[in-house]
């Protein structure tokens, strides 16, 4: 989408319970590379919503949801280390990504490190590694769930990577893929850090 202006940010922003970016283009955190120690651009507290934002390089560690959250109509022009991380310790947490899209995530787009269910719907991904990965080496081996509906993928390697030994699940409806081989669901064996 076309932006309505640009905002250079140099420090992580907390969105509070509701943040509407008005389709401005936000950039300026981290170095645009794959370093795992970069700051997020936005932190969304439990129950919060972020919407109508274009995130551009350098985007650092993207959006962090501390608990349940809604990410609506957010567009990543060039994913940083990853696009968003879901972090609640509650098994009833729900994280909704509705609308929007992500390009050029060299590795992962959505990183599920906490517990609960991630829903990704009405979303496009292009030129990325995995659209979703349930953490494979986090120290807490939560059951993690993902639901994808109406997702279009172009030249993307994997839609979901899950750890079947930890009881993770993935559900898919209305998936369209273009380009060379895309794996819909890759099953892994999670190994907790420090084990
Ligand atoms: O414990 O080292 O890549 O959040 C966490 C792991 C690793 C994460 C993940 C992320 O899986 O750092 O970006
Ligand atoms: Ca990572
Ligand atoms: Ca990138
Ligand atoms: Ca990350």
Ligand 1 atom 1, closest CA:
138
41 with 15: CB under 8 angstroms?
A: no
Considering every ligand atom shown, identify the ligand nearest to the alpha carbon of residue 33 and give its number: 3
What residue ranges line ligand 1, CB within 6 angstroms?
36, 81-82, 85, 111, 113, 135, 137-138, 193
Residue range 30-49: mean pLDDT, rounded: 97
Interval 174-195 mean pLDDT: 93
According to the model, what pLDDT value does residue 164 have?
97
Q: 21: pLDDT confidence band, cut at 50, 70 and 90? A: very high
Is residue 48 predicted with pLDDT exceeding 90? yes
Dihedral of CA atoms 115, 174, 55, 48 in degrees, nearest 10, equals -40
Q: Using CA positions, which residue lies closest to atom 5 of ligand 1?
A: 138
Mean pLDDT of 102-124: 98
Ligand 1: nearest atom to the Cα of 139: 1
Atom of ligand 1 nearest to the CA of 82: 13
**How far is ligand 1, taken at its centre, from the CA of residue 191, in Å?**
12
| Nearest in space to 120 (alpha carbons), one of 161, 76, 173, 42 | 173
The confidence score (pLDDT) of residue 194 equals: 83
For the chain, which domains are there? 6-188 (2.160.20.10)
What are residue 188's phi and psi, to 5 degrees? -120, 170
Averaged pLDDT for residues 126-138: 98
* pLDDT for residue 179: 86
pLDDT at 141 over 80: yes
The arithmetic mean of pLDDT across residues 155-178, rounded, is 98
- Tell the residue nearest (CA) to atom 13 of ligand 1: 36
Q: CA 162, 116, 62: angle at the middle one, nearest 5?
A: 75
**What distance in Å separates the CA atoms of residue 180 and residue 131, rounded to the nearest whole number?**
15
7: pLDDT confidence band, cut at 50, 70 and 90? Answer: very high
Query: What pLDDT score does 152 carry?
Result: 98
Examine the pLDDT at 180 and tell me if it is beyond 80: no
């Amino acid at each position: 989408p076309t932006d309505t202006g640009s905002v250079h940010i140099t420090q992580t922003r907390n969105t509070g319970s509701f943040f509407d970016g008005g389709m401005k283009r936000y950039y300026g955190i981290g170095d645009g590379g794959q370093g795992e120690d970069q700051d997020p651009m936005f932190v969304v507290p439990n129950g919060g919503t972020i919407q109508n934002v274009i995130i551009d390089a350098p985007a650092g560690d993207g959006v962090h949801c501390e608990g349940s959250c809604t990410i609506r109509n957010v567009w990543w022009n060039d994913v940083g280390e990853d696009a968003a991380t879901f972090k609640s310790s509650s098994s009833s947490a729900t994280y909704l990504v509705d609308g929007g899209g992500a390009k050029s995530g060299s590795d992962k787009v959505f990183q599920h490190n906490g517990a609960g269910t991630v829903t990704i719907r009405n979303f496009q991904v292009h030129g990325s590694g995995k659209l979703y990965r349930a953490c494979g080496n986090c120290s807490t081996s939560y059951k993690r769930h993902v639901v994808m509906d109406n997702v279009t993928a172009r030249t993307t390697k994997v839609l979901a990577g899950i750890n079947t030994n930890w009881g993770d699940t993935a559900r898919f409806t209305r998936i369209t893929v273009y380009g060379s081989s895309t794996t819909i669901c890759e099953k892994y064996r999670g190994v907790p850090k420090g084990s």
